[in-house]
């Protein structure tokens, strides 16, 4: 089954006991807005998880604006909400799926595969006149034992080495008028093109991108209604990437990279990893170089 589900799919299974629906709405710069919206109305049976309080660790010197949460703490939080190792989880938000994709990625990182994202999010659900409520049912705690998939995440040291190797390979290819080798890991920057190019930066202290990275804006993997494009469309979108290459995806803080991870996997890429700290972590190290403009 695909990682996304339709509104009608969820409607038909809305009250199944082995399922937990998770509201992940969150607005950057307005940390209370998501929770307040949830308390006003949400999909029946849904529980709420906060991007910064639940799905991230506290910010420190390094690790980015949304550091990965401690696996044991996250597992305990999930268990308290009634999410166990066999619970089917359906996540939604109202931010084009980026926060729901963060939960999707985190659950898989904890070894939990039964997690899906609702296409279109809450506004699309409500537009269909499907049921909403302000009622918050009592949750019966469950048991969640994390089985951390450490191979899914990449740290700054590995990214630094990949960046150096890529820049050297591109330089050698230019000097010899040949193409760069395809056996190198690929760094993907998921942010909007203006931020990748270094033309603007509204969230982080420095503008630009990790040297050697190529730009694939995460929203370009979606249709106008917020649903994920088909596998064939995504294969065309990522056509310049070698299917056998190792791919490392990052964004500003490790959140909007997750929809790109999802899209790459749907397109058939098997070796996709997340640089969780992303750009905000990269620039927290004074010695890390910064590139602007296009990678040639």
- Give catalytic residue positions: 251
Alpha-carbon gap, residue 131 to 255, rounded angstroms: 28
| Structure tokens, 174 | 């230019």
DSSP run (H or E) holding 160: helix 156-176
Show the beta-strand stretches assigned E in the chain. 4-5, 19-23, 47-48, 88-92, 115-118, 153-154, 186-189, 214-215, 247-250, 272-275
Contact 263, 141 (CB under 8 A): no
**b vs e for 99-119, b when ≥16 Cβ sit within 10 Å of the residue's Cβ?**
bbbbbbbbbbbbebeebbbbb
* Dist CA 266 CA 109 (whole Å): 17
Q: Which of 110, 162, 171, 107 is nearest to 282 (CA)?
A: 162
Q: At what angle do helices 71-80 and 98-109 cross, to 10 degrees?
A: 110
CB 163 within 8 Å of CB 211: yes
**Strands (DSSP E) found in 183-260:** 186-189, 214-215, 247-250
**C-alpha–C-alpha distance, residues 264 and 278, integer Å:** 18
**Angle formed by the axes of helices 257-266 and 98-109, to 10°?**
70
């Amino acid at each position: 089954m695909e990682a996304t589900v339709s509104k009608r799919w969820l409607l038909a299974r809305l009250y199944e006991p082995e399922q937990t629906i998770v509201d992940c709405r969150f607005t950057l710069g307005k940390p209370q807005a998501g929770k307040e919206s949830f308390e006003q109305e949400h999909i029946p049976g849904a529980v709420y998880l906060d991007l910064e309080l639940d799905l991230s660790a506290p910010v420190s010197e390094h690790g980015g604006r949304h550091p990965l949460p401690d696996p044991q703490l996250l597992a305990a939080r999930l268990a308290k909400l009634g999410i166990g190792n066999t619970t089917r989880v359906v996540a939604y938000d109202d931010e084009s799926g980026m926060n729901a994709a963060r939960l999707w990625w985190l659950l898989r990182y904890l070894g939990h595969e039964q997690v899906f994202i609702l296409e279109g999010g809450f506004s699309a659900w409500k537009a269909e006149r499907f049921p909403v409520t302000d009622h918050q049912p009592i949750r019966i705690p469950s048991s969640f034992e994390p089985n951390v998939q450490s191979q899914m995440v990449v740290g700054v040291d590995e990214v630094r080495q990949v960046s150096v190797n890529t820049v050297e390979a591109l330089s050698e290819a230019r000097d010899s008028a040949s193409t760069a080798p395809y056996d190198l890991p690929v760094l993907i920057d998921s942010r909007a093109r203006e931020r990748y190019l270094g033309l603007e930066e509204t969230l982080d202290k420095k503008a630009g991108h990790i040297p050697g990275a190529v730009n694939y804006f995460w929203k370009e993997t979606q249709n106008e209604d917020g649903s994920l494009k088909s596998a064939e469309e995504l294969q065309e979108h990522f056509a310049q990437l070698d299917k056998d290459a190792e791919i490392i995806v990052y964004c500003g803080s490790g959140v909007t990279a997750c929809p790109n991870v999802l899209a790459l996997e749907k397109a058939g890429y098997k070796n996709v990893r997340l640089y969780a700290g992303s750009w905000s972590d990269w620039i927290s190290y004074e010695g890390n170089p910064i590139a602007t403009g296009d990678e040639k």
